[in-house]
Amino acid sequence: MDQDTDIFEKPVKGSSLKLLGDEPISTGLEGTIYKAKYHGVLVVAKNMTKPFYLCKQEASLIKKAGKNNENVCKVIDLLYEEDSSSTTLIIPFYPNGDLLSFLVRIRKQKLTVLQVLRDLIFMKVVNIVNLLHAQDIVHMDIKPENILIDSNGQLILCDFGFARDISLENSNHPIVHLETIVGQEPEKAKNEQKTLVVGTKSFMAPEIFSPKKKPSSQAMKKYDVWSLGILYFVIALTCQPWNSATPQDPIYEDYSLFYTDNRLHTIKSSDLNNNYIRKAALKPFRQLPYNPRDCILKCLNPDNATRYSVKDICQSSWFGDLAFEYKSSNIGSEILKIIKALNN
């Protein structure tokens, strides 16, 4: 095995971990993910690159988030190997993969999925995030790859590597990229002044790219709202409206200028669909269904202060119209039916 898997070759006190297969499921900035067995149970083992104190913070935050939220990934164990200073996070194995893979398979196999089910899937994710925000937790990396599907078809939010508990006194700090703190001691990381970006670039709010001041708790919650707006495009269309919310992206730049000049956060849904939607700057939104356009446009407001909150999404007329369907539908069962059709 290579160096990344050394932790699994050494005895870890109180553990019984065995990798399945030679290749990892994925490798990213925060670590390498493997399918494994832990005490005979099928699990996912995330060999983390962060210092132990940060790994412990992440595990603690996941546990806090999951106390009143069954749609948050559970932590089975956190293993530390003192000799190698390696840490492994053990979480359940979710057999149906992630939401992105699910949506891509639907598109590739040209399977028909009712728009209302796509909307209900989004509504479910919003409700998961709403519970997080009620606990003063911001996820900071909402994207379809971080939404898993369990054996019952339920959506499970995972990967809290960038998440913040904004109820903590010291949480009001610049947004710092993981690379600035990996390998640093707690005190050095705490005093780190370099401000960079976190999360996944295509899902990040524009203000994260050029932070001018320490964000408030409410401002940080709006980061998740922006990501939710991009997520809806992926759920509805399996595409994104632009590559990144930066001036270097011409599609986003045109959109941002048009949005600001026309104060689109103040317009009514009927005005959007009758008078604005044909404007070139709003071309990505033309492909969206009629009802969600107004809400998603306000989630993707370039101005953090006037952007929708998760509460605003939940109170939108669109979600009001979906409420009966949401309560009467078994989303998990419908997702499993689609997975079965995809596997046939």
Geometric angle at alpha carbon 28, from 66 and 2, rounded to 5°: 115
Region of residue 127 (left: phi > 0; alpha: psi -120 to 50; beta: else):
alpha
The more confident residue out of 173 and 259 is: 259
- Which among 129, 133, 139, 176 is positioned nearest to 161, based on CA atoms? 139
Report whether 140 contacts 198 (CB < 8 A).
yes
Cβ atoms 133, 72 nearer than 8 A: no
Give me the domains of the chain, ranges plus CATH numbers.
Answer: 3-92 (3.30.200.20), 99-343 (1.10.510.10)
* Average confidence score pLDDT of the chain: 87
Q: Round to whole Å and give the CA distance between 320 and 201.
A: 31
Question: For 126-156, how does the pLDDT look when each residue is reduced to its tens digit (9 = 90+)?
Answer: 999 999 999 999 999 999 999 999 999 999 9
Choose the weakest-confidence range: 38-42, 98-102, 106-110.
38-42
**Packing angle, helices 115-134 and 317-328, rounded to 10:** 100
pLDDT for residue 83: 67
Q: Is 116 left (phi over 0), alpha (psi -120 to 50) or beta?
A: alpha
- Which amino acid type is present at position 200? T
Lowest mean pLDDT among 171-185, 242-256, 277-291, 304-318: 171-185
Name the one residue in this structure whose structure tokens are 């996944």.
Answer: 200
**Average pLDDT for 49-67:** 91
Q: Is 90 helix (H, G, I), strand (E, B) or coil?
A: strand
pLDDT of residue 84: 66
Residue 142: the pLDDT is 98
Question: In this prediction, what percent of the chain has a pLDDT beyond 90?
Answer: 72
Sign of CA dihedral 334, 335, 338, 343: negative
- The whole-number average pLDDT for the span 167-192 is 45
Contact 210, 169 (CB under 8 A): no
Q: What's the pLDDT at 50?
A: 85
Smallest CA-to-CA distance from 133 within 223, 212, 199 is with 223
Rounded CA-CA distance 300/67 in Å is: 30
